[in-house]
Structure 1
């Protein structure tokens, strides 16, 4: 069992005063030990048919997008197409004019074995919609499934030796990241394992210009004895096509539990996400059954009734939870909120522990990072009941001790700067190859044509060198000709040194071991004026939003933001090409969307103008009325594990008579509202 059995390195070595292996004294998994600073290649082997379907999936996602709706007969003949189901829907919707069909064609309408030739013949003479329109994602007639192949194999190539594994499930992974050109992949080995690993994740790290954040985050959890996944790098091939450089990491599955805790075939591992519930504690389902089972339900009930830290500690690892909060604070992690995602729970012999992963947005990446904040100023979880019960604030000695421990042993420039330099030197030739050509991202290894333009697709070699160091990046993402959301991505080294300096002073930590990096020391931090980089993302589409205009001008309104009024047609968000309020609503609507994407969501009524929370990037409450937090005269509550503003109108935005509409998780959403700006120069 690896967790809690790491060999503690000497203080001298941990502070970097001697040149040593970064992981000296740390027990690592065999797979990651083998490939540390030793680049492997993972080749995914697919049959010709399976590989053609892989390429066809992405081509059809592009050609059937409402922005293009290109004629592509291969998409209309794809293996996921069911002509009988499509025809039944077309007939029910009155799209087919039976009077224009021959007797034989009329019989084909209900033929369970309807083929493409007969289908297209009927469409050509009797349909009010063309083939490109029928197959468009704007309609709901055809659904393109996420790609997976259950009969793949892999070759693992390292130092000239090839290890082959048959019976492999290969699939496209990720949620939000599926909108980018370079896809994510999942590998599941059904028969045996690869140096102890049965499940691997291949991540393109496209949103991180430094390509380092996930790796450094995973490395830190190793050093700090925090239970998490490990990570390294690999080149990836699909058959003989070069897909470029990837981060490779393991994942929380039963084999991970067996390796780290010794339990075989566990049934006590739980995946957590805000979509799985509305608890103010955790929202999780069993990894095997995909349900919130009795064991988990009892755990939540115990959390809700616990009256003290001592009582909580009987069944929940409080010390580990507090240490994770200290880690989140130091790395600027905003994407690991307790009630949300990127974490698991595990019941370890009666004591529950939380497991965090996915660190690509840490170290000051995205949103509005600020290293000069106290713990209470930084955290958006201060009103959560776990924080309240444990008293997690500047007066909590366990929290302060955890911050000090992490700073002294791992989160400091003495320890991290040489590690970053080591990784940069190692990765540089692979990054150069991966990000060439510089001005044509879709021609880079592994990049596939995607409908939406994303500025992150085009990060360059220079961006890698800059952002791994001290250059802060500002991404202006325009959603009208003048309005834009602003994402800031701190330079990794800049975040580390600015955060280090702040906490050393704020929490009175003796940081003399790194005196050269403190204020007044020999190390000169470059000015932001000389290192700030501004990149702009301009969209096409309706009102330059990057999304198509809605065709049905009498359709509903799901949400309103600075770009205008939004709806969904088929499986695609669309924007009405008219001023906000241009259509009088006949019925108040109550719709719900995934708040993880920070999309303001509200029922459309006269109360829209009163939704003050929208200006801060949050929705207004639909039903919640309990005041959990008050600031500047405004009251906040929570719904589905997310903050929402309680509007002053006594009716609020709720409408109990109208059932909420759940927006599917696989529909990419407009992402406006969390940090809005207007370009006054345009």
Structure 2
């Protein structure tokens, strides 16, 4: 057991603050650290009924060997009071850079909000778009040069001189497979940019974090997020005929013939609007993107690998989830300080880890796919469209 004399505990998260159970940020002070890190996030799972979405995506990224955070589970007590089960994650901070890249007090790590898929990237120059994590460093010359290079590059080879293009394409492919709506393609949020100082590869890196809104989480009506809210709750994988409808596009870069297609079967053209970087590196190089999807489907994004991993995690956290979902003597769930908002039940946790959708506990017009359902449906769609030789145990749909 490690003890720390000085820490700062603060409320964490943005939209998660509107849920019934708050998240927290922890900073270890006094030049101390835990496993090389001194910044951590504790997230309550208030948005994600499964507690698994963060964990699985970070595990996928780490399995692929791309720069990533890590996630695990913890029980939180404050002054001896049990607050509940939390997902514990490290953060993209200067201490993380020092631990991973051996660079102390980096001046080239930028946190970005609004760094998204837009036609004109001049807005990336705005100081509010990307801010340096080193508060003592205010010189933006290097960052501004990076943005100008993004704008003037004309070929893949031009981009590869200063930008890790393969990493960018990998992250965009993951966004698409995950159905993300709060990263680069559809939101421009939860992004970091980093330029290493050490080693042979000193190109800018495109980093993603926070994945509790992925795997079909919070699919909301068209008026809010330009996403089509479907009747998820009367749809089963056992009799999935939609994959064979003529409306389904058989080309990732062509739209579907109507707007009633469910989200896992969106083509990339349906999912992503055209923007400067996506046009330059994805839409104009479709074969690169398709090959990356094939690689991810083969290596990791498939039910053969992910379903047993989900089962193992679910079994591991089950007793802690049960405790987290047990009312105390006052009839209140642990850590539920905001009593006017609901939290997910044990049954919703159990079911959403599998194939069953759940309704959002805060927004009544929002629902989330079961996490296994999303993986299987997306796997089947990509395997079908790209004509991959996929596991027949998961491709056997009665027609």
* TM bin (shorter chain): 0.7 to 0.9
Over aligned residue pairs, what C-alpha RMSD do you find? 2.5
Partner of 1:625: none
Q: Deviations over 1:11-66 (max 9, x none)?
A: xxxxxxxxxxxxxxxxxxxxxxxxxxxxxxxxxxxxxxxxxxxxxxxxxxxxxxxx
Of 280, 302, 306, 1:389 maps to 280
5 Å-filtered alignment, 1:161-560, equals 162-191=1-30, 192-274=32-114, 280-281=120-121, 282=124, 283-289=129-135, 293-337=140-184, 340-349=188-197, 350-367=202-219, 368=229, 370-379=263-272, 382-392=273-283, 396-437=286-327, 443-449=332-338, 453-454=340-341, 457-475=342-360, 486-511=365-390, 514-520=391-397
Partner of 1:566: none
Native 8 Å contact 2:343 2:361 kept in 1: no
Native 8 Å contact 1:165 1:194 kept in 2: no
- Give, in whole Å, the separation in 2 of the partners of 1:326 and 1:345: 18
5 Å-filtered alignment, 1:59-98, equals none
- Give, in whole Å, the separation in 2 of the partners of 1:292 and 1:509: 48
- Structure 1: 5+ residue stretches without partners: 1-161, 479-484, 522-682
- Give, in whole Å, the separation in 2 of the partners of 1:329 and 1:208: 19
Native 8 Å contact 1:272 1:343 kept in 2: yes
Q: Deviations over 1:295-330 (max 9, x none)?
A: 111111111222222211111111110011111111
- Give, in whole Å, the separation in 1 of the partners of 2:306 and 2:330: 31
Q: 1:275 deviation in Å?
A: 8.9
Change (3 A) 1:323 1:469: same
- Give, in whole Å, the separation in 2 of the partners of 1:417 and 1:441: 38
Q: Larger Cα Rg: Structure 1 or Structure 2?
A: 1
Change (3 A) 1:279 1:298: farther
- Give, in whole Å, the separation in 1 of the partners of 2:309 and 2:139: 41
Q: 1:164 deviation in Å?
A: 0.7
- Give, in whole Å, the separation in 2 of the partners of 1:462 and 1:189: 36
Native 8 Å contact 2:36 2:96 kept in 1: no
Q: 1:519 deviation in Å?
A: 2.5
Identify, as 1 or 2, the structure richer in helix: 2
Q: 1:390 deviation in Å?
A: 1.8
- Give, in whole Å, the separation in 2 of the partners of 1:427 and 1:477: 24
Q: TM-score, normalised by structure 1?
A: 0.48
Give the match's secondary structure for 1:325.
helix
